[in-house]
Amino acid sequence: MTPEDNDVLHPSPAPAGEGTQGSHANVRGGGERGPRRARMRTCGVGANGGHAGLARERAGRGQTGGHAELTRKRAGHMRRERYLLRMVRERARGTALSTTEVLTTARAAERLGVKPQTLYAYASRGWLTRVPPGRGRASGYLRADVERLKARSDARAGHAAVAAGALQWGEPVLDTSVSSIGPEGPAYRGRSAVDLALSGVTFERVAELLWTGALPPSGLAWAPAARPSHASPAPRATPLARRILIVAALAAGPADRTLRARPLIARIAAPDGRAPAPIALSLLATLGAARRGTEVAAAIDRALVLLADHELNASTFAARVAASAGAGLCSSVLAALATVSGARHGGVCDRVEAFFREVGAPARARRIVSGHAGRGDVVPGFGHPLYPDGDPRAAPLLDAAQSIAPRDETRAAGAIVRAVEDTLGLRPTVDFALVALMRAIGARTGSAAALFAVGRCAGWVAHIEEQRAAGYLLRPRARYSASVG
């Protein structure tokens, strides 16, 4: 996929409405005869065959089961009629049904784990809608019907418990080609995030890798989007809250449908910036860091790369849900930003900062950690469920912090790490390491969470585009239980 093929990187038009003029024009021009014949062809029956089939159905069914079967068939016929009416309307507007909404016969059979002949049987029963060929598209089946049938099949097979567990660090719930997670850390399109960060690849280049699948030879400075005139200045807001307010203002206007990813991320990195600049430098200028320079900027870039994506985390899932519902780019990113602000996600950085303040002097680290352990309290920033042997993203940032600041200013971080490992057997996560780096450069409170969000923007955009291309609504089901809550 090239950047030109990507409607998140480039403006995407708002979804066309179901205007009545085109629909009536089509009905007047073609009459009801064409759609009626199309329905008959799609259902696979002729005029005589249809009556004969109905007679056989009436003769062969029982009182209760036959009525239920007839109800299912009627539902299927109604679904096909709605689809054909939609096709009539869309063709009147000169548009075609999206290829992402139709699965080929081979793909639908693979998805359901059946033979093509079985698909034909499903269609005859009204369970699937068969779609005739269109412009640049082979015949197939509506994706929504296939996914609905797959979900029902999984539920009957006893997969409900697996699905419920998948929402809590369990089994994967969807396919993605953006990133994967292994013991060595995340991999972006098959390339190790840790290796990319340690080799000095810039954040902009890694973002392009996530979006297009190719690592460009060099990264250009991204010009920030115009600052919305109605955006609240909020001088006392936290660094992350300021960025949420900026994106909320953009989402409230036409930019939600027209703004591209690069200027959006550049604006999030520097809410008040004007000139194009590398994201690391733009972000550094807003953090109030006491230390600047090439080494510090390289450390910020390293952190952004390590945080660029992490598979289907909570904020990424929120972005994908919003995108699946048809939300614009800014609105989808806003959903992710709201989620990342939570205390169990990007907000962990704020809790780590509070823990550093509680420890104070390095000599107090072991006593404070022992106190937390004795009370059963969590020490924030330690023990990642996906990395039982330690978060591979933490070490590169802790090394950068020690390289930038004098040893006495990083002693507290080292003392905490040793105390937690000795007392609880847990190793630091990227959240702890990010806070340690921010303390090393003298950044203001709350900077770690803001940097976390800016870096993750690259992955959010990649997942938003992937979800849009998938073409289905993310809509899990709930199992009712009167005892919950």
Q: pLDDT by residue (tens digit) across 449-475?
A: 999 999 999 999 999 999 999 999 998
Q: Summarize the confidence of residues 251-255 as an average pLDDT.
A: 93
Average pLDDT over residues 370-376: 91
Encoding tokens for residue 124? 């005859």
Q: What is the pLDDT of residues 317-335, one digit of tens each?
A: 999 999 999 999 999 999 9
**Per-residue model confidence (pLDDT) at position 49:** 43
pTM: predicted TM-score of the whole model, two decimal places: 0.71
356 or 276: which leads in pLDDT: 356
Q: Are 381 and 334 in contact (CB under 8 A)?
A: no
Q: What is the distance between the alpha carbons of residues 431 and 348, in angstroms, rounded to a whole number?
A: 7
CA-CA distance, 35 to 82, in Å (whole number)? 11
| pLDDT band, very low/low/confident/very high, at 476 (cuts 50, 70, 90) | confident
Which residue shows structure tokens 């420890």? 359
Q: What are the structural domains, with CATH classification, of the chain?
A: 3-164 (no CATH), 174-478 (1.10.580.10)
For the segment 36-63, the average pLDDT, to the nearest whole number, is 42
pLDDT in tens, 187-223: 999 999 999 999 999 999 999 999 999 999 886 789 8
Give me the mean pLDDT over the 66-85 stretch. Answer: 59
Residue 94 confidence (pLDDT) = 40
Give the pLDDT band of residue 162 (cuts 50, 70, 90): low
Task: Compare 255 and 276 and report the one with higher pLDDT.
Answer: 255
Q: Tell me the mean pLDDT in the region 283-288.
A: 92
The residues that are catalytic are: 384, 431
Give the pLDDT score at 25: 35
In angstroms, the Cα distances linking 212 to 57, 79, 101, 205, 390 are 53, 36, 22, 10, 30
Q: Which residue has the tokens 């699946």?
A: 324
pLDDT at residue number 172: 58
pLDDT for 276 equals 78
Contact 208, 215 (CB under 8 A): yes
Percent of the chain with pLDDT over 70: 73
Res. 400: pLDDT tops 90: yes
Q: Which helix (H) or strand (E) holds 188?
A: strand 185-188
CA distance 230 to 250: 9
The whole-number pLDDT of residue 20 equals 36
Over residues 168-184, the pLDDT tens digits come to 555 557 889 999 999 99
What's the half-sphere exposure (Cβ side, CA atoms, 13 Å) at 466?
23
CA 33/CA 26 separation, integer angstroms: 12
Q: What is the per-residue pLDDT across 107-116, written as a single tens digit (0 to 9) for each? A: 899 989 899 8
412, 362 in Cβ contact below 8 A? yes
The pLDDT confidence band at residue 45, using thresholds 50, 70 and 90, is very low
Among 374, 354, 316, residue whose Cα is nearest residue 432: 354
List, in sequence order, the alpha helices (H) in 172-269: 193-198, 203-212, 239-251, 255-258, 261-269
Q: Give the Cα separation of 209 and 344 in Å (integer).
A: 28
Question: Mean pLDDT, to the nearest integer, of 242-259?
Answer: 94
Query: CA–CA distance from 302 to each of 260, 330, 360, 470 (Å)?
Result: 24, 25, 27, 31
Which range has the top average pLDDT, 18-27, 140-149, 257-266? 257-266
Residue 257: band (very low, low, confident or very high) from pLDDT cuts 50, 70, 90: very high
* Residue 348 near residue 380 (C-beta atoms within 8 A): yes
At 39 the pLDDT is: 39
Q: What is the pLDDT of residues 406-453, one digit of tens each?
A: 877 789 999 999 999 999 999 999 999 999 999 999 999 999 999 999
Q: Is the pLDDT of residue 234 over 90?
A: no
Q: Are 201 and 305 a contacting pair, CB within 8 Å?
A: yes
